[in-house]
Structure 1
Amino acid sequence: MAALLRYSELHSWLGYMQQPYLWRVVRFSLWQALLSSGISLLIAIPVASCLIHRQFYGRSLLLQLFSVSMVVPTIVAILGLVVVYGRSGWLSSLFGVQIPLYGLLGILLAHVFFNMPLAVRLLMQGYDLIPAGQWRQASQLGFSRWNAFRLIEWHYLKKVLPGAFVLIFMLCFSSFAVVLSLGGGPKFSTLEVAIYQALRFEFDLNKASFLALLQVLICTLFAVIVYRLAPVNRQDMSLLSIKSYALKDSFLSKIGDAIALLCAFVLVIPPFLAIFDPMFSPIFLQALQSKALWNAVFVSLQIAIPAAMVSLFLGVSFGVLARFCMARQYLSILPNKLEHLGNMILMVPGLVIATGLFLFLRDLGWGLGSSYWVVVWVNAVMALPFVLRALMPMMYQQERRFRNLYLSLGVRAGSRWRLEWPLLRPSIAQAFGYALLLSLGDMGVIALFGSQGLVSLPLYLFQLIGSYQLEEGACVAVVLILLCLALFFSSSFFIGGRKAKGALNARN
């Protein structure tokens, strides 16, 4: 930001503020982010409640699908949505229903596809806050599902909802690839797209820095207001897992759960299936023989693996610092502030971070040779909020459970990590997987800094679609999603381990 401000002309910012187009972009950015966040949470609440109370065949698979869908490469998910909801898509072919995909409706569909599973995962963490004694008492008193939700669940969910709402709002407000692909024109542009246009097509650093600061200001005000109104979120330190107790069932609760699950299936599964449809076409084998495809795979791995390692290191550093503050009374207010600080990175557009870092390195004499490191670093930082979401709850829990025991026995530093490693492995594996997939699917920073020798799979896919090679693009999308799934489950297996993986599935 400091590097960008060096190129700014503050006296011209007043002129930008008087442009009607700017405020139309701001209004649309706010409107679509609020709608996307609200719809995602409204669907996620009954889905999370159903997944907590119901055991059914395929439940763990659905949870794994939710974990992957929220970090699926954006351009791949957009292609799946086009296959399902497009003008000649499945919905039109089977039922004759035409959906105006390019515009606000398409943006909302894509955002709900990404953020509803994320909201479900966050709300299920809220259910982990409920002591087992309350479930046992509700079962003994014969509570119905509605009474249990009204008297028990809502009290804990409302502590998680503000944080989830802010996180999803920031993701939607700073959405780039979704709006660029499905916006359909300037009428449906967001601030992030306006920043990209200012940097890529105009190279107007003054305008880009103004728009970036405006976005940071809006997101900061929104987050401060929500967090001020939000109740304090405290985790029960006495439990590693919650034992479930049967509640009084009814026909209405079964109907409600069925509708909630149907919504989740309809929104998430068809685009996933559509992504794999080109595997059965004859052109798929031809696409696999393309040298450009495998060069793009190699570049993507070169970016994603170092970025995921850096992001995991940053996340663990945040967690260690937060636990250090928890153990000291005079620093006890800092852990939540540190977690919020890690999430604040979503307020700053990745394009702006990348441009500012590039200008800073250029001033040091690194020039265009620093583009690769800029892409790696920015991807690592932008994945940090997801890494923190996976790591912090378990790290907090271990600190609260064993702090006094560690102090009494004199267990410190490396000895603590050896003791906690079996319990932390699933969370670390999940955090690394999230960072890996987010870096692998990034199209924002690479679209700005990509060159002939730095073309990742998402950028290569976007170039194919832009040149109307849709069949080849669909085949590249299959390769990208298969690579994502292979890397995600490999990280779960090799880092999480078999026993830890079983514990994670049990906790899910």
Structure 2
Amino acid sequence: MPTSNHISNPLKAFNPIKALKLAYMGYLILAFIIGLAVLVFVALLGHSSANVAGFFNIFGQIIADDYIRHITYFSFLQAGLSTFVAILIAIPVARFLYRRQFWGKSYLLKLFILAFIMPTMVSVFGIIAVHGRQGIFNDFYSLFGFERVTYLYGLTGILLAHIFINMPFSARIFLSELDNIPAEYWRLSKQLGLSEWQIFKQIEWPIMRLSLPSLASLLFILHFTSFATVLTLGGGPSATTLEVAIYQSLKFDFDLAKGASLAILQLSFCLLFSLFLHRFSTQINLLHSIGLGNARPKPHGKTSYIADTLVIFIIIIALILPLSSVFYNALAQTDFSVFGRVILWRAVNNSLILSLCAAGFATFLALSLLLSKRALADHKISNIGYHLFSSVGNVILIVPSLVFGMGLFLLLRPYFNIFEYGLHIILVINALMALPYMLKTLSPAIENMAKQHSKLSRALGISRLDRWRIIDWPTLRKPLAHSVALAATISFGDFGVIALFGNDQTITLPMLLYQSIGDYRSADGAVIACILVILAFGLYTLIDRIIGGRHAKA
């Protein structure tokens, strides 16, 4: 029956004229993003040592070149180990947070978010303050007459930093899964007298493993493309990744062919990872609201007590010590001459302008794409653009920011001095890097809103402007505030692209902190790291409060 077909397939065939009229802005942005990605790839391919005709020779270099083979192996090794250890620790941490109720639990969960959105260079500084030669652990060893030891730089330091950043994020994801366990399960487990191991095996683990493939794939991509952490804590050529090698080939060797070849190699790996991530994709939302109470029976017994004590110890060592060390080192300083340096305030100014402009541009891109998709859905028009409007973020995830920067450098270098426009290029790349997060956060909210209000809006003849003012803005305000705040904070702490294009005029706070660490100016570094944390957290809170408001709809 016609009616039945209409219901089962609500989107009509492609009508190009009508589609362009309804979603012209979305199509323009789609063309801009995909076109830019293609141009970057062509620029890299054109400058690579293999050139266009010998594209597959790039992969042959892995076998032929010992150096490329080593950094490729180490890139996979550190990413795999970081992902495995972060998830391995996150599982008991999530179980502890789920089954125990205690004062300060809500603040600890907020601290988990802070660790994820904190600028990477601050995380690195905190790790050095705890595990470095002059760090807390070595100070403790020296009290008992032991010599100070150096174990931080290399694979160990990279793992410690990645665990600090991504273990709390992983624990929150697992905790959100555990929060969905029905109360009936716990009543039944109590009646059956299940042990803690049986509860984990039969109830908790089957729920937690639902998000495991998607989470592991995402973490692997983040670790594989990690730049600031490896650059600072790698310790030398033996602990170099593809991302760092690309930076070194352009910044120090100025070997464009080698840098382009390495960029294409990394781009190819990221494409494979993203396909794997898409295959196992599930909704992962950092901003998921987690209930602080649940029906799980409180565990008893010596084993549970020992396990929970061990988890608390892990949280203190892995998370709280590095965070508190940042503030302690800043407050313990007697030399605050850094506040009198012009370059500090230039870095603060550049960081704030970049983060706010990048977040604004990313918001414009995200809303234009998603509202264009909604306009097509409202008029039951289906085409490739309709599906790409919300999934174009996956195209961006394939391209690491440093590779994007390398491609734009090669693309624009023949036409003007690219370093004079470094801030503009950084702004565009940071906005594009934040776009996938915004699309993931806003897409469910806009789709739910369309299901509830689209038919009524069309029936009442409400204009687009009035619909935005009366319906969209009050409903989207809260998720929009979270996504804009997250985009601004990510851009504020970014160190990847600024490392390529940064100079004394375009310097940002993360770059200034990196220089302080590299020059062993620990007093300046402590103060700059503290400023970075305060401004990043303040920026997130301020944007969230201004846009979200106190009475915005969730």
Partner of 2:494: 442
Q: CA deviation at 1:473?
A: 2.1
CA distance in 1, matches of 2:292, 2:423: 48
Structure 1 residues 469, 404: closer, same or farther in 2, change over 3 A?
same
Deviation at 1:31, TM superposition (A): 1.0
**Alpha-carbon distance, 1:52 to partner:** 3.9
Match of residue 485 from structure 1: 537
The 3-state SS of whatever aligns with 2:182 is helix
The amino acid of 1:248's aligned partner reads P
Partner of 2:123: 77
Are 1:7 and 2:52 matched, yes or no? Answer: no
- Match for residue 18 of structure 2? none
Task: Please name the residue that 2:26 is paired with.
Answer: none
Say if 1:446 and 1:455, in contact at 8 Å, map to a contact too: yes
446-455 vs 418-427, which deviates more?
418-427
**Is the aligned partner of 1:264 residue 2:315?**
yes
Q: Secondary structure at 2:336's aligned position in 1?
A: helix
Q: Distance in 2 between matches of 1:339 and 1:330?
A: 15
Selected match of 2:548 from 454, 473, 496: 496
Report deviation, 1:47. Answer: 2.6
Corresponding position of 1:247: 296
Change (3 A) 1:44 1:394: farther
The letter of the residue matching 2:164 is F
How does 1:390-401 map onto structure 2 within 5 Å? Answer: 390-399=441-450
Identity of aligned residues (%): 36
Structure 2 counterpart of 1:354: 405
What is the match of residue 371 of structure 1?
Answer: 422
1:326–1:332 CA contact under 8 A, matched in 2: no
Partner letter of residue 124 of structure 2? I
How far has the Cα of 1:364 moved from its partner?
Answer: 4.9
Question: Superposed, which structure 2 residues align to 1:423-442 within 5 Å?
Answer: 423-442=475-494
Q: Distance in 1 between matches of 2:461 and 2:424?
A: 41
Please say if residues 47 and 120 of structure 1, whose CA atoms lie closer than 8 Å, have aligned partners that are also in contact.
yes
Whether 1:306 aligns to 2:357 is yes
Contact 2:174-2:211 within 8 A present in 1 as well: yes
Structure 2: tracts of 5 or more residues without a match: 1-39, 143-147
Tell me: CA distance 1:213–1:100, structure 2 relative to 1, closer, same or farther (3 Å): same
Q: How many Å apart are 1:331 and its aligned residue? A: 5.4
Shift of 1:407: 6.9
Q: Distance in 2 between matches of 1:326 and 1:256?
A: 51
CA contact (8 A) 2:393 2:436 kept: yes
CA pair 159-410 structure 1, distance change in 2 beyond 3 A: farther
8 Å Cα contact 1:28-1:189 kept in structure 2:
yes
2:77 to 17, 25, 31: 31
> Is contact 1:32-1:104 (8 Å) kept?
yes
Give, as a single letter, the amino acid of the residue that structure 1 aligns with 2:183.
R
Cα distance, 1:423–1:52 mapped onto 2, change above 3 Å: farther
Higher alpha-carbon deviation: 376-385 or 44-53:
44-53
2:114 is the alignment partner of 1:68: yes
Within the alignment, does 1:57 sit opposite 2:103 as a pair? yes
Deviation at 1:405, TM superposition (A): 6.5
- Deviation at 1:181? 0.7
1:141 to partner: Cα distance: 2.4
**2:509 is the counterpart of 1:457:** yes
1:245-264 per-residue CA deviation (whole Å, 9 max, x = no partner) reads: 41233225555444334423
Give the C-alpha shift of residue 78 in structure 1: 1.1
- Identify if the C-alpha distance between structure 1 residues 30 and 77 changes in structure 2 by more than 3 Å, giving closer, same or farther: same
TM-aligned CA distance change 1:484 to 1:117, over 3 Å: same
Distance 2:333 2:315 in 1: 32
Give the secondary-structure state (helix, strand or coil) at the position aligned to 2:211.
helix
Query: Which of the pair has the greater relative contact order for Cα pairs under 8 Å at 6+ separation?
Result: 2
Q: TM-score with structure 2 length normalisation?
A: 0.79
Q: Is the 8 A contact 2:485 2:540 kept in 1?
A: yes
Cα distance change, pair 93–365 in 1 and its aligned pair in 2 (3 A): closer
Over 3 Å counting, the alpha-carbon distance change for 1:453 and 1:400 in structure 2 is: same
1:467 corresponds to: 519
Distance 1:234 1:483 in 2: 27
Larger Rg: 2
Q: Is the 8 A contact 1:307 1:377 kept in 2?
A: yes
Structure 1 residue 16 and structure 2 residue 16: aligned? no
The corresponding residue for 1:136 is 183
Deviations 1:329-364 (A, max 9, x none): 885999987666414534323222123223434455
Q: Secondary structure at the match of 1:10?
A: coil
Once superposed, what is the RMSD of the aligned Cα atoms?
Answer: 3.5
> What is the deviation of 1:410?
6.7
Are the aligned partners of 1:343 and 1:384 in contact in 2 as well (CA < 8 Å)? no
* Residues 296, 456 of structure 1: 8 Å contact kept: yes
After TM superposition, list the pairs within 5 Å mapping 1:120-131 onto structure 2: 120-127=171-178, 130=180
Distance verdict in 2 for CA 1:25–1:336, change over 3 Å:
farther
